[in-house]
Structure 1
Amino acid sequence: MAGPGAVSSRLALALAALAALAAVKYYRDAEAARQQELALKSLGSEGLFLFSSLDTNNDLYLSPEEFKPIAEKLTGVTPVSEFEEEETPDPTGETLSIVAKFQPLVMETMTKSKDGFLGISHVALSGLRNWTAPAAHKSVMLAKHFKAFLPPKNKVDLGDPWWIIPSELNIFTGYLSNNRFYPPPPKGKEITIHRLLSMFHPRPFVKTRFAPQGSVACIQAISTFYYAIAFRIHAEFQLNEPPDFPFWFSPGQFTGHIILSKDSSHVREFKLFVPNNRSLNVDMEWLYGASESSNMEVDIGYLPQMELESTGPSVPSVIYDENGNVIDSRDPSGEPIQFVFEEITWQQEIPWEEAAQKLEVAMYPFKKTNRENEFYSKLADLHLEKYNFPVEMIICLPNGTVIHHINANYFLDITSMKPEDVESSIFSFSNNFDDPSTATYLQFLKEGLQRAKSYLQT
């Protein structure tokens, strides 16, 4: 058994070790601050902003991998990825032709689209204004690339959702940085989604900065050899490049369907699109400064058309006769050989609306209602009636009656205006608060209490 002297020695050693660790941390923090200050003096705030957007591990050094986006931009040469090197086209495989259809955002639908409004410059919206056509009007992909849409072995029931790209966000990770220009290299199933979205714009991010993040799918119909699969994708695009500040373009969702063979050797149909049945379907955010904490402007707008569609079923890239010899893909008159495909007989299927609802609930679990409990079902319906993209703040009574609500984007619009420009007394600023957001939110709560009186008195 150790005596008092031994215990004291061990305690002294432990304290010394802690002091040493504290000293090392202090030195490292001080050195990091010194390096940051030197970088700021050397590059200036704008230069450091660009450098930081490339320095993904924040070590103040650019590795060849981190510098690659700039190298590709300067040289105009994009190296072949490891995935593409491994995925050498199979001469016996089938290819699918896809066309892109795109109509740019209707600028008049933005509440802040006018140059100079609230300090918005033409430069800030340059990436948006210049995006008038898809990056690629047509693309040819291998049928086997669409294997990414096939269900896992334990998800073969109708309407049972699974994640193509799972979300990586939670209450601990928070959200991803706004200060980025170039997407990280896609991997696994992300590669197919990235290739498809790259037809619209060269800088798609298959993982959004905020939840709900990822891509989800479910089986809509089953036959002997085919699946009809409905899917929903949450992705966004970075429209600006240095030296401009980041501009994020986030459609409410991409949705669509694919009909493919169970071994992914043949694709019968494919369509992906941004729904345009609502008056506003895109969220936009852009930075006004050279750091993550810089002011962020927010707006919403309407995108008439953004879709990809196959021109027909996938076809063999090489045709063989009954003896195994390669034959010409054109007939003697020079016309392409027409393929005849068997009609698919679905053995099980659910309506598209039901499949879409399953995907929506997977993305937004709070929309899952217990239809067996009439009370909870009514509460959910009352709230969903008032919900508008992207976020709605709601004040309600215990019985679920919504007495006041405000959309987050409108809230941000109000808080960015000067007090003298706010016409509605409902959202006037309080003299007790310097912060417009705090004052406006307090006024929103007061208005909710005021409106509740008429319900409570009856």
Structure 2
Amino acid sequence: MQVQAHWDPISDSTYNLHQLTEEQFARVKVRCPELVNMEWKQALELFNTKPAYPLKDYNTTDFQVFLPSSTAKVGDIWELDSEEILPFFRQFHSGATTEITIFSHRTPKSDGAKACLRAISSDYAEIVFRIHAQFVLDAPGVRLLPAQFAGRLILNRKEGAVVDFSLFLPSRNSNVDVNAFKAADMAFIPRMELSNLSSTPVHEIAWETVITEKESRKKLATAFYKFAEIEWIPIEDAVELAEGTNRPIHA
């Protein structure tokens, strides 16, 4: 399967760490010379991101990392081997890693990759997944930490072939952290995605057992974070519920 990569540069951030002025960069070099062994224009080029491989061919065996090791039913969650996933992320950049580090400190609780069987029929199965990864750019201490990567894979069960695949950075107002020059920033990348060039018309598949996309993403989130089980409600409803049960909201 031929997979295409898209990687837009940062389009917005809180502190513009990716677009320091020449004067700002000069001050950074004075403050931490051991980390900034480059010129201003080289620093700007660090964040002018583009895929290492705009197109790459994968074999069917490459996608086996996303499959469960034993029989699964719709809604089941399983762990993915982070090391075996790395070739997909290195289509973006050779510095991809699934070991999350913030300012040289490992944060194992942020690591991980999990998948969920979302739908199944006699002919097809759809797997959705959530993966945490980061990219060590071509300078000491410069990292991009996407909030998460989401994706899906549709498998032809009879042929054992992958017919649809995508892996992407969800789009929201800030979806990546920037660690560089002993500083941090929150930024937005409009599009960062891997997707196959041709696929089966998935909307035509008649699923026999299925959960919604929202349900599957919720299951993945709660598998990573216990607090994701909290059911949030509008403040007006919370006030009404508190009054009806005679329980203060902040009890």
TM-score (norm: length of structure 2) = 0.76
Unaligned regions of 5+ residues in structure 2, if any? 30-35, 102-106, 236-246
- Give the helix-richer structure, 1 or 2: 1
Q: Is the 8 A contact 1:217 1:359 kept in 2?
A: yes
The reply to whether residue 311 of structure 1 matches residue 187 of structure 2 is no
State the secondary structure of the residue aligned to 1:270. strand
Q: Which residue of structure 2 aligns with residue 105 of structure 1?
A: 10
Q: Is the 8 A contact 2:9 2:47 kept in 1?
A: no
Aligned-partner residue type, residue 73 of structure 2 = D
1:127 to partner: Cα distance:
7.0
Query: Could you tell me how far apart the structure 2 residues matched to 1:213 and 1:132 are?
Result: 23
Measured at CA, do residues 400 and 217 of structure 1 come closer, stay the same or move farther in structure 2, by a change above 3 Å? farther
Q: Is the 8 A contact 1:382 1:401 kept in 2?
A: no
Equivalent of 2:153 in 243, 258, 270: 258
Size of the alignment, in residue pairs? 220
Query: Could you tell me how far apart the structure 2 residues matched to 1:206 and 1:262 are?
Result: 29
Measured at CA, do residues 382 and 163 of structure 1 come closer, stay the same or move farther in structure 2, by a change above 3 Å? farther
The reply to whether residue 208 of structure 1 matches residue 124 of structure 2 is no
Q: Which residue of structure 2 aligns with residue 275 of structure 1?
A: 170
The CA deviation string for residues 48-73 of structure 1, in whole angstroms up to 9 with x for no partner, is xxxxxxxxxxxxxxxxxxxxxxxxxx
Who wins on radius of gyration, i.e. which is larger? 1
1:159 to partner: Cα distance:
1.9
Measured at CA, do residues 143 and 228 of structure 1 come closer, stay the same or move farther in structure 2, by a change above 3 Å? same
The reply to whether residue 140 of structure 1 matches residue 65 of structure 2 is no
Aligned-partner residue type, residue 83 of structure 2 = E
Unaligned regions of 5+ residues in structure 1, if any? 1-95, 166-188, 289-295, 315-339, 370-376, 384-397, 403-458
Query: Could you tell me how far apart the structure 2 residues matched to 1:158 and 1:228 are?
Result: 9
Measured at CA, do residues 130 and 312 of structure 1 come closer, stay the same or move farther in structure 2, by a change above 3 Å? same
State the secondary structure of the residue aligned to 1:269. strand
Aligned-partner residue type, residue 97 of structure 2 = F
Measured at CA, do residues 263 and 299 of structure 1 come closer, stay the same or move farther in structure 2, by a change above 3 Å? farther
Mapping for residues 28-427 of structure 1, pairs under 5 Å: 96-106=1-11, 108-113=12-17, 114-115=20-21, 116-117=23-24, 119-120=27-28, 123=38, 126=43, 129-153=46-70, 156-165=72-81, 190-191=83-84, 193-209=85-101, 210=107, 211-241=109-139, 245-262=140-157, 265-276=160-171, 278-286=172-180, 288=181, 296-313=182-199, 344-369=205-230, 377=231, 399-401=248-250
State the secondary structure of the residue aligned to 1:120. helix
State the secondary structure of the residue aligned to 2:87. helix
Q: Which has the higher contact order (CA 8 A, sep 6+)?
A: 2
Measured at CA, do residues 190 and 130 of structure 1 come closer, stay the same or move farther in structure 2, by a change above 3 Å? same
The CA deviation string for residues 153-200 of structure 1, in whole angstroms up to 9 with x for no partner, is 25x2222211113xxxxxxxxxxxxxxxxxxxxxxx622x21111111
Query: Could you tell me how far apart the structure 2 residues matched to 1:258 and 1:98 are?
Result: 12
Q: Is the 8 A contact 1:150 1:262 kept in 2?
A: no
State the secondary structure of the residue aligned to 1:354. helix
1:346 to partner: Cα distance:
1.4
Query: Could you tell me how far apart the structure 2 residues matched to 1:264 and 1:214 are?
Result: 30
Measured at CA, do residues 260 and 354 of structure 1 come closer, stay the same or move farther in structure 2, by a change above 3 Å? same
State percent identity of aligned pairs: 28
Aligned-partner residue type, residue 118 of structure 2 = Q
1:152 to partner: Cα distance:
3.0
Query: Could you tell me how far apart the structure 1 residues matched to 2:65 and 2:44 are?
Result: 31
Measured at CA, do residues 264 and 153 of structure 1 come closer, stay the same or move farther in structure 2, by a change above 3 Å? farther
Q: Is the 8 A contact 1:361 1:367 kept in 2?
A: yes
Measured at CA, do residues 263 and 131 of structure 1 come closer, stay the same or move farther in structure 2, by a change above 3 Å? farther
1:133 to partner: Cα distance:
1.6
Measured at CA, do residues 112 and 202 of structure 1 come closer, stay the same or move farther in structure 2, by a change above 3 Å? same
Aligned-partner residue type, residue 360 of structure 1 = A
CA RMSD of aligned residues (A): 3.1
1:130 to partner: Cα distance:
4.7
- Give the strand-richer structure, 1 or 2: 2
Aligned-partner residue type, residue 97 of structure 1 = Q
